[in-house]
């Protein structure tokens, strides 16, 4: 036990933090995309696992072809939008349940990503290319600042959008479809737009992460939806704690990104504790299950049959 604690190096943790923050911010952008579908449209969109890797693949392959790294991110965004658009069509035009439509897109993107990259993994020469989003320790500070700025811009843009007529109709679609249609909103089209936008943002963050780590991998998106959900939920819990009822959409979106950062700092910390990296996805899933389950359990503990039974027994004892 003592040997275990002695083997932990506090400085190593400190050194790992900036990288954790940078990755957390990038995953936070992914969480922003997940927020659009999961929280606003009320759809758990599994296509993001595929579109995240698509973003990375597109960005890396275009950089290898000599494109400007920033420009590749725009193409990654568009590629993600197309993926989301397909999910939307599968869901609205073919009547496939949203969750299954997402799985179909995700699995087809696996093949498409392999086709884009030609093999399972493609790396760029990070030393030779001028990358904005880089894990190069000399420029890590800049990476964090630029990524944080991108996050702020995205949050501000999303917040403004949600306040527009179109954005209000988008929120209404997820909140009450019957009402939305009665008020003339084409809910199917709204869902398609939302899924496209969400996957575009996810692919953008996939592209950023690929540049950050210097390679794209066909498996880089595996479990991305769970990490995105974890970030959204962690952000919500912490946001509620700090702001309570003052949580407006700006803070909701901001805290989704902060949720990503917190997730990654915890990730770094747990790895520092020498938790096996192979088990991290299991841990993430457990965290998400607990955070999703606790509000439900809490509600049920107040009104459950067992509770009613216990109360009845107590009452019976009095007579």
Partner 1 sequence: MLDVQHISKTFNAGTINEKKAVIDLSLHLNPGDFVTVIGGNGAGKSTLLNAIAGTWPVDSGRIVIDDVDVTALPDFKRAPLIGRVFQDPMLGTAPDMWLEENLALALRRGQSRGLKWGIKKEERELFREKLATLGLGLEDRMTTKVGLLSGGQRQAVTLLMASLKQPKLLLLDEHTAALDPATAAKVLELSDQIVTENNLTTLMITHNMKDAIAIGNRLIMMHQGRIILDIAGDEKKNLTVKNLLDKFSAKAGVEEETDSVLLS
Structure tokens at 66: 């000599």
List 41, 101, 172, 227, residue binding partner 1 (CB under 8 A): 172
CA distance 33 to 20: 20
Structure tokens at 223: 């479990």
Residue 301 near partner 1 by CB under 8 A = no
SS3 176: coil
Residues 6+ away with beta carbon under 8 Å from 49: 106, 109, 221, 222, 223, 224, 225
Nearer to partner 1, 182 or 241 (CB): 182
Smallest separation, CB 240 to partner 1 (Å) = 15
Residue 108 near partner 1 by CB under 8 A = no
How many residues does the structure list for the chain? Answer: 319
- Alpha carbon of residue 81 to chain centroid: 15
**Candidates 73-81, 173-181, 219-227, 268-276; binding stretch for partner 1 (CB under 8 A):** 173-181
List 111, 121, 136, 176, residue binding partner 1 (CB under 8 A): 176
Containing 60, the helix (H) or strand (E) segment is: helix 48-64
Residue 175 near partner 1 by CB under 8 A = yes
Residue 186 burial class via C-beta count within 10 angstroms: exposed 0-12, middle 13-18, buried 19 and up = middle
Residue 111 near partner 1 by CB under 8 A = no
Taken in order 179, 91, 53, 204, is the CA torsion positive or negative? negative
Binding mask 182-201 for partner 1 (x = CB under 8 A): xxxxxx--------------
Residue 67 near partner 1 by CB under 8 A = no
List 91, 171, 191, 252, residue binding partner 1 (CB under 8 A): 171
Structure tokens at 65: 């072809």
Smallest separation, CB 297 to partner 1 (Å) = 22
Residue 244 near partner 1 by CB under 8 A = no
Smallest CA-to-CA distance from 155 within 288, 21, 74, 36 is with 36
Smallest separation, CB 161 to partner 1 (Å) = 8
Residue 159 near partner 1 by CB under 8 A = no
Residue 167 near partner 1 by CB under 8 A = yes
List 153, 157, 168, 300, residue binding partner 1 (CB under 8 A): 168
Nearer to partner 1, 110 or 250 (CB): 250
Residue 299 near partner 1 by CB under 8 A = no
| CA angle in degrees (0–180, nearest 5) for 182-183-188 | 75
Smallest separation, CB 179 to partner 1 (Å) = 6
Residue 253 burial class via C-beta count within 10 angstroms: exposed 0-12, middle 13-18, buried 19 and up = buried
Nearer to partner 1, 58 or 193 (CB): 193
Q: How many Cα atoms occupy the beta-carbon half-sphere of 6 within 13 Å? A: 3
Residue 304 near partner 1 by CB under 8 A = no
Applying CB under 8 A, the residues found at the interface with partner 1 are 161, 163-169, 171-172, 175-176, 178-187
């Amino acid at each position: 036990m003592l040997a275990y604690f002695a083997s932990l190096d506090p400085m190593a943790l400190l050194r790992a933090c900036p990288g954790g923050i940078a990755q957390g911010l990038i995953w936070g952008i992914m969480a922003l995309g997940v927020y659009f579908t999961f929280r606003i449209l009320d759809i758990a969109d599994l296509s993001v696992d595929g579109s995240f890797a698509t973003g990375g693949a597109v960005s890396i392959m275009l950089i290898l072809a000599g494109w400007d790294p920033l420009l590749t991110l725009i193409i990654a965004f568009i590629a993600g939008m197309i993926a989301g658009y397909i999910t939307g069509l599968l869901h609205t035009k073919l009547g496939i349940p949203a969750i299954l439509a997402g799985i179909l897109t995700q699995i087809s993107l696996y093949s498409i990503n392999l086709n884009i990259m030609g093999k399972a993994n493609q790396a760029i020469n990070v030393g030779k290319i001028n990358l904005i989003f880089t894990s190069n320790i000399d420029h890590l500070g800049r990476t964090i600042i630029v990524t944080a700025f991108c996050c702020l811009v995205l949050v501000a843009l999303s917040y403004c959008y949600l306040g527009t007529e179109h954005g209000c109709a988008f929120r209404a679609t997820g909140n009450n479809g019957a009402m939305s249609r009665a008020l003339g909103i084409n809910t199917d089209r709204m869902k398609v737009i939302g899924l496209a936008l969400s996957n575009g943002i996810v692919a953008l963050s996939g592209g950023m992460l690929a540049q950050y780590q210097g390679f794209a991998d066909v498996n880089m998106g595996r479990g991305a939806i769970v990490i995105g959900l974890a970030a959204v939920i962690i952000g919500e819990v912490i946001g509620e704690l700090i702001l309570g009822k003052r949580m407006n959409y700006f803070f909701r979106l901001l805290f989704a990104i902060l949720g990503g950062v917190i997730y990654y700092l915890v990730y770094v910390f747990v790895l520092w504790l020498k938790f096996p990296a192979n088990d991290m996805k299991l841990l993430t899933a457990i965290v998400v299950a607990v955070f999703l389950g606790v509000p439900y359990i809490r509600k049920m503990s107040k009104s459950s049959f067992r509770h009613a039974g216990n109360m009845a027994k107590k009452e019976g004892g009095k007579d």
